Structure 1
Amino acid sequence: MSKRSTKAPDNPGSAFGQAIGNMFQERVEKIQREVVERCGYRYHSGKDPLPGYRGATLRIRDRKGHEWQIDSAVTDQRNHVVIIGEVKYIQRAKHVTDKGSWICNCHSLLRQTYPTIRASIAVLAGGWSKPALKMIRDCGTEVFYVPYEDLVKGFSEKGITINWTDEGSAQASQEAWDTFSLWSEVEKEEIADKVVQSIAFPLAERIEKFLTDTTPRTVQSVEVSIKTNKGETIFRAFDTLQQAQEFQARVDFGEFFQE
């Protein structure tokens, strides 16, 4: 370990969690960038804005003009967005519903806005619950997940306990931060590699498949949303265009509303 002068944070638990999140995100982005550039596409993250945008964060507008800050995007040679992505580490499960709902809402709106998007990807780690992961997958987002247990084991082997209880969190988080702050960059890279080991290959393989797929386009499914003048919404999903057209041709409000 190489000792460095580090100012003690006011909240070591929060600082340590942020450090893990940053380390995880940097390693995931490295994996993604390598495969994206190898396939001839451009990878955007952090301070690398999309064409037509300015600022220090990666932002993109939906069809209603709202701007969303996302973690990554992939564009083709014509600057069309083809993949959008999030990388999220969560220490405590109490935040997963809010974070998961945000991913669902953001990615769904962006996919409605940009027909060139082939995939939305969420690379997650930490205390994500099964219901939260299912919710994100059900919204059409590909999920690559590093379980909290894998993080606990990886850091434990390096002398850091991260699964502290609320009662002992003050001392445990301080000890974790003190040890982590003494790590060299090489040591941080080693633990980052270990943490993402289970998802590194499948993540890269999946991205490559999205970017190199030459299968002719066909209709996979059709969704019909009808909004009435009273604010009601009728939603149906079909396997073919013909089924959707037949439904629209015979829509009868009496079938849905008993008045």
Structure 2
Amino acid sequence: MSKGLRVSVVIKDNSSVKDPASALGEAVGKLVEEAVKKVVEELARKYKLTVHAKQKISDKAGIRFEVDLPIYKEDKLIGIIDVKYLRYTKHARDKASWVVVAHRRLAASYPTIQRTAVVLHGHGWSKDAKKLIATSCIDVIELEPAKLDEILDDYGIKFVWHEKNAETPRESWKRFQELSNEEKKKIIEAIVEDVRERLEEWFRTRLIGDTDDVKLSLSFLCPEAKVMMSLTSFFEEH
């Protein structure tokens, strides 16, 4: 485990929480953000790039969008990574549409942006929602729901339940509050191990332009990206 990993998840007093499911989702989401941020910052240092803290960036019309991890090279915005959690499928299309609007408007406003990506987690992301994002040429990196469930289950936290089930999220939220900082660090490290390779592939192919020995293993790629990879493979074979 990396030393000095900061855990900045603020725990609310259980007696003041009216919706344990929402509180737990928010708290776990922050752990996922910490994990992705840790990997992205390491990769930025490796490739001599800069990652800013969560930042509101204006498009050319002056509309501001909050970006989780804006990536810069010599003060020029070259990439965007957002982390998005969704529990219920009924919200998937709306949330996916908002991701598309934000990323495409910023990409149109900053010609230096080479690529944008979103790390998705939670059971709510439908296949259609992920396709909507990917076919707008925004790369989708998934933290598989089953993997996150497995990581949390190791600490007695159930992260999947029926929408009308109030008992499971209440008990899981109570257990989350009992986690020590060391346990939270271990959860973050487990998430890091799951997403590190795909994030590094994304950095190398999308921001650095190094495609040697790299096969971008994302579940959802935009059609343009698939065509380019097919052409690359064809010329390598011939």
Aligned with residue 68 of structure 2, among 67, 71, 74: 71
Q: Distance in 2 between matches of 1:97 and 1:110?
A: 20
The answer to whether the aligner puts 1:173 opposite 2:169 as a matched pair is yes
Paired letter, 1:212: I
Q: Select which of 12, 24, 28 maps to 2:32.
A: 24
Q: Distance in 2 between matches of 1:32 and 1:195?
A: 13
User: Once the 2 structures are TM-superposed, how far is the Cα of residue 158 of structure 1 from its aligned partner?
Assistant: 2.0
User: Residue 144 in 1 paired to residue 152 in 2?
Assistant: no
Shift of 1:93: 1.7
- Cα distance, 1:33 vs structure 2: 0.9
CA RMSD of aligned residues (A): 2.1
Q: Which amino acid aligns with 2:105?
A: L
Secondary structure of residue in 1 paired with 2:18: coil
**Which among 10, 35, 39 is matched to residue 18 of structure 2?**
10
Secondary structure of the residue aligned to 1:37 is helix
1:181 aligned counterpart, secondary structure: helix
Letter in 1 for 2:135: D
Q: 2:152 aligns with which of 152, 155, 166?
A: 155
Q: CA 1:162 to 1:61, structure 2 compared with 1: closer, same or farther past 3 Å?
A: same
State the 1:196 CA deviation: 4.4
**1:211-226 aligned within 5 A:** 211-213=207-209
Q: Which amino acid aligns with 2:87?
A: Q
Select the structure that is richer in helix: 2
Matched position secondary structure for 1:23: helix
2:110 equivalent in structure 1: 114
Deviations 1:133-173 (A, max 9, x none): 111000001110012222222222221212112332x2111
Structure 1 unmatched ranges of 5 or more: 47-57, 216-236, 240-259
SS at match of 1:64: coil
Q: Is the 8 A contact 1:35 1:208 kept in 2?
A: no
Q: Which has the higher strand share?
A: 1
SS at structure 2 position matched to 1:161: coil
In structure 2, the partner of 1:183 is: 179
**Cα deviation, residue 29, structure 1:** 0.8
CA distance in 2, matches of 1:196, 1:35: 12
Q: Partner amino acid for 2:208?
A: T
Tell me the residue number matched to 2:236: none
Distance 1:203 1:103 in 2: 19
Does the 8 Å contact 2:56/2:66 carry over to 1?
yes
* Alignment equivalent of 2:129, drawn from 127, 132, 150: 132
Q: Distance in 1 between matches of 2:140 and 2:134?
A: 6
1:97 corresponds in structure 2 to: 93
Equivalent residue number for residue 229 of structure 1? none
Partner deviation per Cα, 1:220-245 (whole Å, 9 max, x = no partner): xxxxxxxxxxxxxxxxx9x9xxxxxx
**Secondary structure of the residue that 1:152 maps to in structure 2?**
helix
Structure 1 pair 114–14 and aligned structure 2 pair: CA distance change class (3 A): same
Aligned AA for 1:30?
A: K
Contact persistence 1:21–1:89 (CA under 8 A): yes
- Alpha-carbon contact 1:62-1:113 (below 8 Å) kept: yes
Return closer, same or farther for 1:6/1:43 CA change in 2, 3 Å cut-off.
closer
Higher relative contact order (CA 8 A, sep 6+): 2
Structure 2 residues not aligned, in runs of 5+:
1-10, 212-223, 228-238
C-alpha contact 2:76 2:112 (8 A) present in aligned 1:
yes
TM-score (norm 2): 0.78
Change (3 A) 1:60 1:167: closer
Q: Which has the larger radius of gyration?
A: 1
Residues 146, 196 of structure 1: 8 Å contact kept: no
Say which SS state the counterpart of residue 149 (structure 2) adopts: helix
Give the SS at the match of 1:200.
helix
Aligned residues: 200
